[in-house]
Amino acid sequence: MKIKQVEELVGITKKNIRFYEEQGLLKVERAENGYREYHQEDVARLQKIKLFRKMDISIEEMRALFENRKSLQICLDQHLRELEHRKEGITKMQDICERLILEHRSLETLNAEECLEEMEQMEKEGAKFMNVNKTDVRRKKRTGAIVGAIVMVALMVFTIVLMLWGNSQDPIPLGLLLLLIAIPVVIIIGTLAALAGRMKEIEGGEEDEASKY
């Protein structure tokens, strides 16, 4: 069956199906014409993936499951413990919020240092709060894409300048010069178009999109 049928059967977008393939969670056969050919086994695998994502099981954990590096029982047991830690952290955050409300704290009277010390002590006892040091993955991806594009554009501009300088030293036919210059210009345009597409993809976020399932 084609991806459109799989999309309708499972309720997962094409983008996410492709993402799961890229992550190694799904291996799809290709027909003689080169197109992907999905089978019932692939539908069953995607349904499991959808279930696990709804349970907030990570891509890494699913990969370990499907590669038989970890059993479902072990995975679920570890995930359950992780959820218990999260629940404990949420309960404690609720307690802090309720206490601050009862104390009628305002922004001016809020003692952030005291609250942070209290939360740090809770973390030492096993509670989990939001990790403020967590890296912004999308920002890193955006930076990498922009830097790569800048390097390529700079290289092509340097190539054009080098061509013009060489032509000033030893002129060649104008038509040939324009043809040679057109090559790096096309590469620059292609690089900028690819950058725009990549930025849009990062903002949409395959990971963010897939986390909904």
Q: What distance in Å separates the CA atoms of residue 38 and residue 33, rounded to the nearest whole number?
A: 14
* Domain of residue 93, residue span: 74-124
Q: What is the CATH number of the domain that holds 31?
A: 1.10.1660.10
Is 46 a member of any domain? yes
Given this model, what pLDDT does residue 211 score? 47
Given this model, what pLDDT does residue 180 score? 92
Q: Are 41 and 10 in contact (CB under 8 A)?
A: no
What torsion, rounded to 10 degrees, do the Cα atoms 81, 82, 84, 85 define?
120
Structural domains in the chain (count): 3
Question: Per-residue pLDDT for the chain (213 aa), expressed as one digit of tens each?
Answer: 888 999 999 998 888 898 899 888 999 888 888 888 999 999 999 999 999 999 989 899 999 999 999 999 999 999 999 888 888 888 888 998 999 999 998 988 999 898 888 888 888 877 777 765 554 566 777 888 899 999 999 999 999 999 999 999 888 898 898 999 999 999 999 999 998 887 877 665 544 445 444
Is 16 a member of any domain? yes
Q: Are residues 141 and 206 in the same domain?
A: yes
Is 129 a member of any domain? no
Is 113 a member of any domain? yes
Is 190 a member of any domain? yes
Given this model, what pLDDT does residue 71 score? 94
Q: Are residues 142 and 205 in the same domain?
A: yes
Given this model, what pLDDT does residue 212 score? 46
Q: Which of 29, 47, 66 is the last residue of a domain?
A: 66
Q: Are residues 187 and 206 in the same domain?
A: yes
Provide the CA 130 distance to its chain's centre, in angstroms.
19
Mean pLDDT value across the chain: 86
Q: Are residues 146 and 193 in the same domain?
A: yes
Q: Are residues 193 and 147 in the same domain?
A: yes
Q: Are residues 154 and 98 in the same domain?
A: no
Q: Are residues 190 and 171 in the same domain?
A: yes
Q: What distance in Å separates the CA atoms of residue 144 and residue 141, rounded to the nearest whole number?
A: 5
Is 132 a member of any domain? no
Q: Are residues 10 and 59 in the same domain?
A: yes
Given this model, what pLDDT does residue 213 score? 44
Is 189 a member of any domain? yes
